[in-house]
């Protein structure tokens, strides 16, 4: 360990006037970070908050010197002061000694950050060998002790496991063990809980907070989620488009935000205790629109027994089979005996952790997966028992919006082609002219300009692409829309816009939604009824206010207790 560095009582690391740009091609560069300055104080947690493209991850990579040298340019006047040295100009060898030793990092995806062909013990011992010079039994004992410290059950046995034998949460614990192995002074955590389920997220957050206090480390916590920040941070730095919008102690930022953008971020996110008719969006705050300040009335949600039913699902089951041995097959029941009713013009929220089968329910209803058992009654007919040909006219009636707007639009089609294709297939509209007009109309409806018709998907941002996906579904005039994690990949501000759009469309066309999400706050906001799933089975189904106020089943209670509460004064 490089122990010759001297620290005064000041900050562990000071970033001064950091300016980073990326070379896009020979002539153009893109300014990712535009001269930011902030400190990470000793023995505390600093959160770097921002949406995608804000430059928060680039900043953290710059601290570790991990930016790709071939296309990134750090302005030579930038300073990253650590222990009296400027990390921007320090030789690479010295930087390498600091990495993993004095400064270490946890990444977003534990599954891809661990090497799958080595045991976790081996990978931990490697860190200890490289930075602490520990070998043999000493290294192994220390590895077991570290795994014990990060709360991995039965560490004596699991030290010899391969990463694939551990769950996502356990893998992230191993990553944390590697990061704290050398008693770092600064731990950088880049979205460490984003890929994890909400119950696991809570455990990991608690663990990081506990370790921070125990080892008196400084933590630089990078996230897009203000609710998480509220739980963990002492200091907050809010970034947008490569600039710092606001920084200060967490109490000040949460209770008396000065910057319009910070205020917007705090308001855009659906809250568990309120349900305004319309969510405020960032632009309202930035432009100082009166809508920002307006206290909108709450929307009433819920299903009455008399509401007409549009889709009845009975005993839906889906099994996947994997080959085992030479002839054997093994059955995995992804969905078991799921029954529910979807009411016209209402939203059914479907929540559960990963592997709960909620996405499979959606895909099976669309017949993108073949159902193993069960019925789905729509207009008196069982959709699942029809032949492909019989199903064709019904196909357009149930549509789906996928999670990732970057993957669900064909990159080789123009938006015009994307929108007119379904109309062609289903014979909607009298001719090409009619279809084009309808496409223009729908683009307006989802809030895109008519010029978009001629553009390709890669020219749009994530939120805009999701609007295109919504417009594609609307071309077929569906009755039921399945939203499979449709806003989960979007930034908080964009999320609010798309949720508002979905709500407006429901009000106008009386669409029925099945809203699948792991995000309990969003589901609470948009749903009339909520169905909680776990391991392929329904745990509980009730009106959304009812379920959030009085959860009956222990699993639901556990799930709701794990939601980050945000800033609690």
Q: Find the shortest distance in angstroms from Cβ 399 to another protein.
A: 6
Sign of the torsion angle spanned by Cα atoms 85, 88, 89, 90: positive
| Binding flag, residue 340, another protein (CB under 8 A) | no
| Residue among 301 and 395 whose Cβ is closer to another protein | 395
Q: Find the shortest distance in angstroms from Cβ 30 to another protein.
A: 8
Site string for another protein, 476-515 (x = CB under 8 A): x---------------------------------------
Site string for another protein, 201-220 (x = CB under 8 A): --------------------
| Residue among 138 and 407 whose Cβ is closer to another protein | 407
Q: Of residues 317, 416, 429, 447, which one binds another protein by CB under 8 A?
A: 416
Kindly tell me the burial class for residue 37, based on how many C-beta atoms sit within 10 Å of its own C-beta (0-12, 13-18, 19 or more): middle
| Binding flag, residue 110, another protein (CB under 8 A) | no
10 — alpha (psi -120 to 50), left (phi > 0) or beta? beta
Contact 371, 316 (CB under 8 A): yes
| Binding flag, residue 26, another protein (CB under 8 A) | yes
Distance of CA 546 to the CA centre of its chain: 26
Q: Find the shortest distance in angstroms from Cβ 476 to another protein.
A: 7
Within a 13 Å sphere around the CA of 36, how many CA atoms are in the beta-carbon half?
Answer: 28
Q: Give strand pairing partners of 323.
A: 329
Q: Of residues 123, 172, 201, 408, which one binds another protein by CB under 8 A?
A: 408
- How is residue 474 written in tokens? 């609307």
Q: Of residues 4, 8, 9, 25, which one binds another protein by CB under 8 A?
A: 25
| Residue among 78 and 420 whose Cβ is closer to another protein | 420
| Binding flag, residue 542, another protein (CB under 8 A) | no
- Measured in degrees and rounded to the nearest 5, phi and psi for residue 196 equal -105, 160
66 — alpha (psi -120 to 50), left (phi > 0) or beta? alpha
3-state class (DSSP) for residue 276:
strand
Q: Of residues 19, 240, 395, 467, which one binds another protein by CB under 8 A?
A: 395
Termini Cα distance of the chain: 39
Where would I find the H helices in 160-243?
168-180, 198-215, 226-232
Tell me which residues in 63-102 interact with another protein (CB under 8 A): none
* Residue carrying the six token digits 């370790």: 211
| Residue among 287 and 410 whose Cβ is closer to another protein | 410
179-187, 239-247, 453-461, 515-523 -> range binding another protein (CB under 8 A): 453-461
| Residue among 301 and 435 whose Cβ is closer to another protein | 435
160-168, 297-305, 390-398, 525-533 -> range binding another protein (CB under 8 A): 390-398
Q: How many angstroms separate the CA atoms of 148 and 128, rounded?
A: 16
Contact 471, 310 (CB under 8 A): no
Q: Find the shortest distance in angstroms from Cβ 439 to another protein.
A: 9
| Binding flag, residue 447, another protein (CB under 8 A) | no
Q: Of residues 301, 472, 518, 524, which one binds another protein by CB under 8 A?
A: 472
| Residue among 324 and 450 whose Cβ is closer to another protein | 450
| Residue among 137 and 412 whose Cβ is closer to another protein | 412
294-302, 352-360, 377-385, 421-429 -> range binding another protein (CB under 8 A): 421-429
Contact 65, 82 (CB under 8 A): no
Instruction: Determine the number of helices (DSSP H) and then strands (DSSP E) in the chain.
Output: 22, 21
Contact 420, 397 (CB under 8 A): no
Give which of 499, 63, 473, 515 is closest to 279, Cα–Cα.
499
Q: Give the count of residues interacting with another protein (CB under 8 A).
A: 51
Kindly tell me the burial class for residue 445, based on how many C-beta atoms sit within 10 Å of its own C-beta (0-12, 13-18, 19 or more): middle
Distance of CA 58 to the CA centre of its chain: 18
Q: Of residues 199, 461, 488, 506, which one binds another protein by CB under 8 A?
A: 461
Q: Of residues 92, 256, 326, 451, which one binds another protein by CB under 8 A?
A: 451
Sequential DSSP letters for 406-424? TTSS-TTS-HHHHHHHHHH
| Residue among 185 and 396 whose Cβ is closer to another protein | 396
Kindly tell me the burial class for residue 215, based on how many C-beta atoms sit within 10 Å of its own C-beta (0-12, 13-18, 19 or more): middle
Our CA dihedral for 114, 120, 123, 126, rounded to 10 degrees, sits at 160
Q: Of residues 406, 447, 543, 558, which one binds another protein by CB under 8 A?
A: 406
Site string for another protein, 355-384 (x = CB under 8 A): --------x--x-x----------------
Q: Find the shortest distance in angstroms from Cβ 514 to another protein.
A: 14
| Binding flag, residue 409, another protein (CB under 8 A) | yes
Give which of 468, 367, 463 is closest to 409, Cα–Cα.
468
147-155, 294-302, 312-320, 449-457 -> range binding another protein (CB under 8 A): 449-457
Give which of 332, 347, 351, 333 is closest to 539, Cα–Cα.
351
Applying CB under 8 A, the residues found at the interface with another protein are 24-26, 30, 52-53, 363, 366, 368, 392, 395-396, 399-400, 402-404, 406-412, 414, 416-417, 420-422, 425-426, 432-433, 435-437, 440, 450-451, 453-456, 458-459, 461-462, 469, 472, 476
């Amino acid at each position: 360990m490089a122990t010759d560095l001297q620290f005064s009582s000041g900050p562990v690391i000071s970033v001064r006037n950091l300016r980073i740009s990326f070379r896009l091609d020979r002539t153009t560069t893109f300014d990712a970070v535009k001269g930011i300055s902030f400190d990470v104080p000793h023995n505390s947690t600093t959160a770097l908050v921002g949406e995608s493209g804000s430059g928060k991850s680039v900043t953290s990579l710059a601290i570790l010197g991990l930016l790709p040298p071939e296309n990134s340019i750090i302005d030579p006047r930038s300073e990253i002061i650590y222990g009296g040295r400027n990390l921007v100009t320090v030789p690479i060898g010295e930087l390498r000694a600091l990495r993993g030793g004095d400064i270490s990092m946890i990444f977003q995806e534990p599954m891809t950050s661990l090497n799958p062909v080595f045991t976790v013990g081996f990978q931990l011992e490697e860190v200890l060998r490289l930075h602490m010079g520990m070998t043999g039994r000493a290294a192994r004992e220390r590895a077991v002790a570290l795994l014990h410290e990060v709360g991995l059950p039965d560490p004596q046995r699991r030290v010899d496991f391969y990463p694939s034998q551990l769950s996502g949460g356990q893998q992230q614990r191993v990553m944390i063990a590697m990061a704290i192995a050398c008693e770092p002074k600064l731990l950088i955590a880049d979205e460490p809980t984003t890929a994890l389920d909400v119950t696991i997220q809570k455990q990991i957050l608690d663990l990081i907070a506990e370790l921070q206090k125990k080892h008196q480390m400084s933590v630089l916590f990078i996230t897009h989620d203000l609710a998480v920040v509220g739980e963990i941070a002492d200091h907050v730095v809010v970034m947008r488009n490569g600039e710092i919008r606001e920084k200060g102690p967490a109490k000040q930022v949460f209770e008396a935000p000065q910057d319009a953008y910070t205020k917007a971020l705090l308001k855009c996110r659906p809250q568990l205790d309120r349900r305004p008719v319309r969510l405020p969006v960032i632009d309202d705050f930035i432009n100082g629109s009166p809508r920002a300040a307006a206290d909108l009335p709450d929307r009433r949600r819920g299903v009455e027994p008399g509401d007409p039913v549009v889709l009845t699902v009975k005993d839906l089951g889906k099994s996947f089979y994997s080959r085992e041995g030479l002839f054997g097959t093994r059955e995995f029941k992804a969905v078991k005996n799921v029954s529910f009713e979807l009411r016209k013009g209402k939203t059914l929220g479907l929540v559960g952790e990963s592997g709960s089968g909620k996405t499979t329910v959606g895909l099976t209803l669309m017949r993108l997966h073949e159902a193993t058992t069960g019925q789905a009654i729509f207009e008196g007919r069982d959709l699942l028992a029809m032949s492909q040909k019989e199903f064709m006219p019904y196909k357009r009636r149930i549509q789906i919006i996928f999670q990732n707007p970057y993957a669900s639009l064909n990159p080789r089609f123009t938006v015009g082609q994307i929108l007119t294709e379904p109309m062609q297939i289903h014979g909607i509209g009298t001719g090409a002219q009619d279809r084009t007009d309808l496409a223009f109309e729908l683009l307006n409806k989802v809030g895109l300009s008519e010029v978009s018709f001629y553009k390709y998907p890669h020219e749009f941002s994530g939120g805009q692409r999701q609007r295109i996906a919504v417009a594609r579904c609307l071309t077929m005039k569906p009755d039921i829309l399945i939203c499979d994690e449709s806003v989960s990949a979007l930034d908080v501000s964009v999320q609010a816009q798309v949720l508002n759009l979905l709500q407006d469309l429901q009000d106008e066309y009386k669409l029925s939604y099945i809203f699948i999400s792991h995000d309990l706050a969003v589901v609470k906001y948009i749903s009339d009824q909520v169905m909680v799933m776990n391991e392929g089975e329904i745990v509980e189904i009730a009106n959304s206010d009812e379920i959030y106020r009085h959860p009956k089943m222990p699993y639901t209670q556990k799930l709701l207790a794990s939601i980050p509460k945000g800033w609690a004064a």
